[in-house]
Structure 1
Amino acid sequence: MSPLYAFYGDDFTGSTDVLEQLAGGGVPAVLYLRAPEAALRARFADVRAFGLAGDSRSRSPEWMDEHLPAAFAALGEGAVVHYKTCSTFDSAPHTGSIGRALDIGVAAFGGPAAIIVGAPHLGRYVAFANLFAAAGEQIYRIDRHPTMARHPVTPMHEPDLIRHLAAQTRATVGHVALDRIHAGEAAAAFDAANLGADAVLFDGMTMEDLAATGAVLLDRGTRFAVGSSGVTRALVLAWQARGMVDAVPPTVHAGEAERLLVVSGSCSPVTARQIARSAADGFVAARADVAALLAGSSAEEARLTDAATAALGQGGRALIHSAEGPLDTAAPAAGERLGEALGRIARAAVLRTGLRRLLFAGGDTSSHGVAQLGIDALTWAAPVERGAPLVRAHASDPAIDGLELVLKGGQMGGEDFFEIVKRGG
């Protein structure tokens, strides 16, 4: 049976969000950390969806030109191929260009591509092409969002997603507006919008909007989609409505872990509040000397590994972090090198202590850090918090195989998130 769906995640945190949406919809899935060879694919022969965890969110258009065609080719057997972006759609012409990924995908799979960014399950909404996102109890237009308007690499200054993409692509983008969806005219609006268009953006405020959108994608045989896990949810709802997948989600609870190591490179104020709260929950923190890590200091990596090992041995709660919010002068200037260093520290701590649960905080930290662990693939294990599930590692190294991980985007979770992960939800 051919896979229903394949996806490329532009960072690792977003990739595990997709696993959560698929699991909740009764769709067995696996996330590969590299293009899988035949033997690895054979281990997961019964899945109905699969993905590749990438890091294009932090890469240049030239990098995308070199690497995304091969990645998309590896996903080609999926009935729908999804380029998974962050639900805040933050990107720029020079970094994480969603427009360039759109161009490459349309060249590979044909158009029109579907663009779905609204993800009400994550507090993300699109109305008349404008993106809104939750922060705490408030909903903000994305260019006024307290974090995303000031993102250190890809600040969102344009809420109109068609205008935002226009700076990144030559593609023509049509639009299916909210009023047409609510009038039951999504399919007709899509047909009209795609005349001469390379891609079509769908508004979306509710699960009903996503269900209508997913039905259009199936009816029109859409091959390529770009956007948040709203793409995944839309397809799951459509598959369920047609009896193509099990409509009953699994009931699983992770259970409490004896020990937890948190590794954070996030500059988000949300993560900063979680770090501040962690001491009250019993976490012992060690702050990284970022300059030393960026300079490749093995002594600093050893110091932090020792600190994590000691904290895990004393109270079972350890935290290694590099920043405390967006205005922190020690915030990383080189996310890739920092993430790799934090990943090496995490791996050393796991090998030394036999740790079985690990939390990475921050998109770049997760993407570049997890890559240091020697993991072949990830599968969904249990829910923890929306958008940040517990996943299970599959690896040839017995010390890493079966390791439980949570990969948290900077904006995810309440102040006590670290303790929630230790408790298992």
Structure 2
Amino acid sequence: MLLGAVADDFTGASDLANTLARGGMATMQFVGAGTGAAPAGCEAGVVALKTRSIAPAEAVRQSLDAARWLLAQGCEQIIFKYCSTFDSTPEGNIGPVAEALLDLLGTGVAVVCPVFPAAGRRLFMGHLFVGDRLLSESGMEKHPLTPMTDPDIRRWLRRQTRGEVGHVPLDTVRAGGAALAAAIDAEAAAARRLVVTDAVADQDLLAIGAAVAGHRLVTGGSGIALGLPQNFRAKGRLSGEPMTLPAVHGPAIVLCGSCSSASQAQVAAYRADRPGLAVDPAELMDGRMTLGRAVEWVRSHAGEAPIVYSTAAPDAVREAQKQFGREAVAAAIETFFGDLARTVAEDGMKRIVVGGGETSGAVVEALGLRSLQIGSEIAPGVPALVTERGGPLGLALKSGNFGGADFFAKAVGQVGTA
């Protein structure tokens, strides 16, 4: 294995694995830190963790364990992958994990670049935009777990870190490789180990990728990996042989726990011609909605690719959180979807499409998966996945904000294909 990545959630791991596979690296996604050797032929390994919203110290511990396993596989460079909307709290976890990885790798600097132009995430003058809006005006300021109220990534990151935070502006990124590399080196010499680096287009990410070819650690969204496969290809290190995937056939289900505006539109579009079961957070908490009720409903619609969703307007979610507690509501929703996914898979469901990062993590953990192979791209940042669980099982794991209104229909048709 040449390149390793530590991702702070499951959808982000799939997003990054998709980018590396499209770049020509034989890529696999792993669930949690491995315990043995990676399969032969794997050139890039992405370890999916669920550390975005947990206590910073525990996020650091899990991330270091994953990085140590990747290093033991021979990885020469580590990526720390987080969300392209920089989802985090003032305490972490991006800053603490990045600093811990710098210490582990014994290196002096890493770029910080959550940019993903294909999904409208761009960084200019240190400020993160989603489409034509600042991050703090994009809807992410209302996120129930990680409300992003400040678009200045330098300022937000500084609240999470021990040291000062550097910055490389867009003009320098576009001034050529030598100028970009010199700017990063200058920040490192000034003891600014984490360097927020502007980018607004894929060409900027390719330039950054070339500039960090010799860096032990790179941090960012999946876009930061666009230029990294070429660094290994230029040295003749890539085989050019993709990993083969088995085909998956059988009934499908969609599970959506995201409350983003994109997810709300996707659920509405899918429900226009598919059966749907709404899971109200308050009903789940007070026992009116149960796993048994949901399972029976799914069984009655098993051949229709139904959708089960807890997607609701932010106000409704906040009301449930106010009544029952934010962490209790989140845990109940995750447990519900994880248990539902495991039960329907045991019933013979062969294709499972999941919306929402936390929901995706809960589903993968409940299914007991250890590794996934990367298939074709369904939407920017979202590949079809295949794993073995008593036979091939097809999956798609989507971050809440990703994909167009027709995403779920596209995913049901494409998931599990090579």
Q: TM-score, with normalisation over the residues of structure 2?
A: 0.89
Any idea what SS the aligned residue of 2:397 has? strand
Give the corresponding residue for 2:58: 63
- Alignment of 1:319 onto 2:315: no
Relative to 1, partners in 2 of residues 1:36 and 1:252: Cα closer, same or farther, differing over 3 Å?
A: closer
Give the corresponding residue for 2:228: 235
Q: Deviation of residue 236 (structure 1)?
A: 2.6
Any idea what SS the aligned residue of 1:57 has? coil
Q: Distance in 1 between matches of 2:263 and 2:241?
A: 33
Q: Which residue type is aligned with residue 363 of structure 1?
A: G
Deviations 1:120-143 (A, max 9, x none): 233211112111122xxxx21212
Q: Among 124, 149, 166, which residue is 2:158 paired with?
A: 166
Give the corresponding residue for 1:33: 31
Q: Deviation of residue 244 (structure 1)?
A: 4.3
Give the corresponding residue for 1:99: 95
Any idea what SS the aligned residue of 1:171 has? coil
Relative to 1, partners in 2 of residues 1:328 and 1:289: Cα closer, same or farther, differing over 3 Å?
A: closer
Give the corresponding residue for 1:127: 124
Q: Distance in 2 between matches of 1:240 and 1:132?
A: 32
Q: Distance in 1 between matches of 2:293 and 2:264?
A: 22
Give the corresponding residue for 1:16: 14
- Are the counterparts in 2 of residues 262 and 318 from structure 1 also a CA contact under 8 Å? yes
Give the corresponding residue for 1:365: 359
Correspondence 1:215-226 to 2 at 5 A: 215-218=210-213, 221-226=214-219
Give the corresponding residue for 1:51: 46
- Are the counterparts in 2 of residues 7 and 84 from structure 1 also a CA contact under 8 Å? yes
Q: Deviation of residue 37 (structure 1)?
A: 2.4
Q: Which residue type is aligned with residue 226 of structure 2?
A: R
Q: TM-score, with normalisation over the residues of structure 1?
A: 0.87
- Alignment of 1:285 onto 2:279: no
Q: Deviation of residue 344 (structure 1)?
A: 1.1
Q: Distance in 2 between matches of 1:284 and 1:12?
A: 27
Deviations 1:317-371 (A, max 9, x none): 211111323222476733234212211111111211x221111111110112221
Over the aligned positions, Cα root-mean-square deviation in angstroms equals 2.5
Q: Distance in 1 between matches of 2:13 and 2:44?
A: 12
198-207 or 44-53, larger mean C-alpha shift = 198-207
Q: What 5-or-longer segments of structure 1 have no aligned partner?
A: none
- Are the counterparts in 2 of residues 263 and 319 from structure 1 also a CA contact under 8 Å? yes
Q: Deviation of residue 250 (structure 1)?
A: 9.7
Q: Which residue type is aligned with residue 306 of structure 1?
A: E
Q: Which residue type is aligned with residue 165 of structure 1?
A: L
382-391 or 332-341, larger mean C-alpha shift = 332-341
Q: Which residue type is aligned with residue 421 of structure 1?
A: A
Deviations 1:8-56 (A, max 9, x none): 1111000000111011011011111132222xx35x1210011211111
Q: Distance in 1 between matches of 2:128 and 2:343?
A: 41
Q: Distance in 1 between matches of 2:23 and 2:242?
A: 6
Relative to 1, partners in 2 of residues 1:336 and 1:46: Cα closer, same or farther, differing over 3 Å?
A: farther
Any idea what SS the aligned residue of 1:327 has? helix
Q: Which residue type is aligned with residue 355 of structure 2?
A: A
- Are the counterparts in 1 of residues 353 and 412 from structure 2 also a CA contact under 8 Å? no
Q: Distance in 2 between matches of 1:49 and 1:251?
A: 15
Correspondence 1:15-414 to 2 at 5 A: 15-38=13-36, 41=37, 44-76=39-71, 77-94=74-91, 96-110=92-106, 111-134=108-131, 139-145=132-138, 147-184=139-176, 185-195=179-189, 196-218=191-213, 221-240=214-233, 244-245=237-238, 259-280=251-272, 282-291=273-282, 293-294=284-285, 300-313=290-303, 316-329=304-317, 333=326, 334-352=329-347, 354-394=348-388, 397-398=389-390, 401-414=391-404
Q: Distance in 2 between matches of 1:375 and 1:79?
A: 26
57-66 or 409-418, larger mean C-alpha shift = 57-66
Q: Deviation of residue 270 (structure 1)?
A: 1.0
Any idea what SS the aligned residue of 2:162 has? coil
- Are the counterparts in 2 of residues 254 and 424 from structure 1 also a CA contact under 8 Å? no
- Are the counterparts in 1 of residues 52 and 59 from structure 2 also a CA contact under 8 Å? no
Deviations 1:179-199 (A, max 9, x none): 112121211211212112222
Q: Distance in 2 between matches of 1:159 and 1:298?
A: 40
Q: Deviation of residue 384 (structure 1)?
A: 0.8
Q: Distance in 1 between matches of 2:237 and 2:130?
A: 31
Any idea what SS the aligned residue of 1:56 has? coil
Q: What 5-or-longer segments of structure 2 have no aligned partner?
A: none
The number of aligned residues is 402
Relative to 1, partners in 2 of residues 1:152 and 1:348: Cα closer, same or farther, differing over 3 Å?
A: same
Any idea what SS the aligned residue of 1:323 has? coil
- Are the counterparts in 2 of residues 268 and 411 from structure 1 also a CA contact under 8 Å? yes
Q: Distance in 2 between matches of 1:402 and 1:172?
A: 48
Q: Distance in 1 between matches of 2:5 and 2:370?
A: 16
Q: Distance in 1 between matches of 2:184 and 2:295?
A: 54
